Chains A and B, each alone.
Chain A
Amino acid sequence: MRPFVEISDVSLTYPGAGANATLALEHATLSIEKGEFVAVVGPSGCGKSTLLKLVSGLHLPTRGGVIVANREVAAPISIVGMAFQNPVMLPWRTTLDNILLPLEIVEPHAGRFRANRKSYVEKALALLKAVGLEGFGDRYPWQLSGGMQQRASLCRALIHEPALLLLDEPFGALDAFTREELWAVLRDLWAAQRFTVILVTHDLTEAVYLADKVHVCSKRPGRIVTTRNVDLPHPRDKYAPEFVALVRELHDGIAEVRAS
């Protein structure tokens, strides 16, 4: 059987005049099984975010191909949910209405959104409860703290039940305690629904805590240089010796990549 996401020998150059053209990815190859939780780590500017844009179809590769769910990606594929470091909520909508936004756009929900609004609202409220935001649906996002907004942003990414969740450093701007709380939230959501996740991060502890597999990206132009399986059972203890050893191993790997 084919992997769910298959990135084969992909290169991507951001256009620009002459020397301004940036080669972001070169010969990147990566495959992800359905239901897998994968983390991509690497030095900043290595094209990690570009990888997500390629998988979602927001960018098309200059060379090579991306296949998601047995189909060549040639345009945005609407089976993805995305969340970023910046929660980017719409300030004129309540938190609940923010979370419902994808349903107003993605088919088949958009066509029946008005008729089924009640059941969609129930679904959104259930998600809010799952991330610990019960009762905050009718607040405006700017009335919420950064961590709460990020929880809401996760709900928005998941409301249309995407098969593929793309996370671009979603916890990067949060304080350590909130971040670890949200790791647990994400892990529980994933354990319950088993969507496929690609998490881009520079936090190695985060990668090892959450992912089945950690891919290490080289510096620009990026490609995947090593892949490390994480076989530790959930819930993981970030102070356990095996955990710490794994993080150190990845850390040394990246240090090597940066130096080369």
Chain B
Amino acid sequence: MNEKLESAMPWLFVAGLLLVWQLACVGFGIPNFILPRPSVVAQAFVTQFSAIMENSWDTLVRTVTGFVLAVVLGALLGIAIGSSRLIYRGLYPVLIGFNSVPKVAVVPVFVIWFGTGTVPAILTAFLVSFFPIAVNVATGLATVEPELLDVLRSLGARKRQILIKVGLPRSLPYFFASLKIAITLAFVGTIISETVASSSGIGYLMMAATANFDTPLVFAGLFVIAALGIIMYAIFAVVEQRMTFWAKRGDGLMTG
């Protein structure tokens, strides 16, 4: 009973939220071009289904491409920062500065370099999502217990051996935790770029809809982005659970 209720909770909560929203819109007589009722948003979703799907697919492909780039380069950067003090000292301030730059300000530069459309979207998705991955991997590497390093070093272990046998497995939980954050950020990056410089994608669709005062379609786009984000997050949560079961342990079987 309790478990069933628990797994139903997200749906119940969303349903409740939509109901309140609908009732509020009807009750206060809010016009649909200001805040569309959920029922109207659903209607827009159905009537514009093929356009939404096409543009969502573009957004998804760009996001995942940028994200994959971020995973590869972010992990490599994290390993470099986490295993070399010199690289850490040199690169970390630059990274923080880099991460502080609003990415929307960089999109026009990408457009000058690569034109509008897919490339700037991928690059923006990459830029916003690689930072948490790099920082988390570096943090994971830094958490290796000094005693363990002593054991391995006293046996004559080389740096590479320590990294492979201990450092990388130790940083896996941090890595997977960062993937969940990074994938949602990657969507943000793609949409930002699409709203500024693109003729396809959910971001573009929403901009075009706004220009036409088609607010229900804008909201349909928002829902699609949210749904995509949740699905990708869930996928990485499952992967995380499988790969790093040892980091999420409850009480030991025989404590005390």
Contact = CB atoms under 8 A, between A and B. Distances in A.
Interface of A: 53, 56-58, 75-78, 80, 82, 84, 86, 88, 90-92, 101-102, 104-107, 139-140, 142-145, 148, 156-157, 160, 166
How many chain B residues sit at the interface, stated as a range, is: 20 to 34
B155 A91 contact: no
B155 A92 contact: no
B169 to A, nearest CB: 5
Contact of A91 (B156, B157, B246): B246
A92 B147 contact: no
Q: Which 6 A-B pairs have the closest CB atoms?
A: A78-B156, A56-B154, A91-B246, A88-B148, A84-B147, A106-B155
Contacts of B151: 82, 88, 102, 156-157
24 contacts: A56-B150, A75-B156, A76-B153, A76-B154, A80-B154, A82-B154, A84-B147, A88-B145, A88-B147, A88-B151, A90-B170, A91-B246, A91-B247, A92-B172, A102-B155, A104-B165, A105-B157, A142-B246, A142-B249, A142-B252, A144-B252, A145-B255, A145-B256, A160-B155
A58 B166 contact: no
A90 B158 CA distance: 18
B156 A92 contact: no
B241 interface: no
B101 to A, nearest CB: 35
A105 B162 CA distance: 9
Contacts of B165: 101, 104-105
Contact of B153 (A58, A107, A148, A156): A58
Contacts of B252: 142-145
Contacts of A76: 153-156
Nearest to A86: B147
Interface in B215-248: 244, 246-247
B155 A143 contact: no
A101 B157 CA distance: 11
Contacts of A80: 154-155
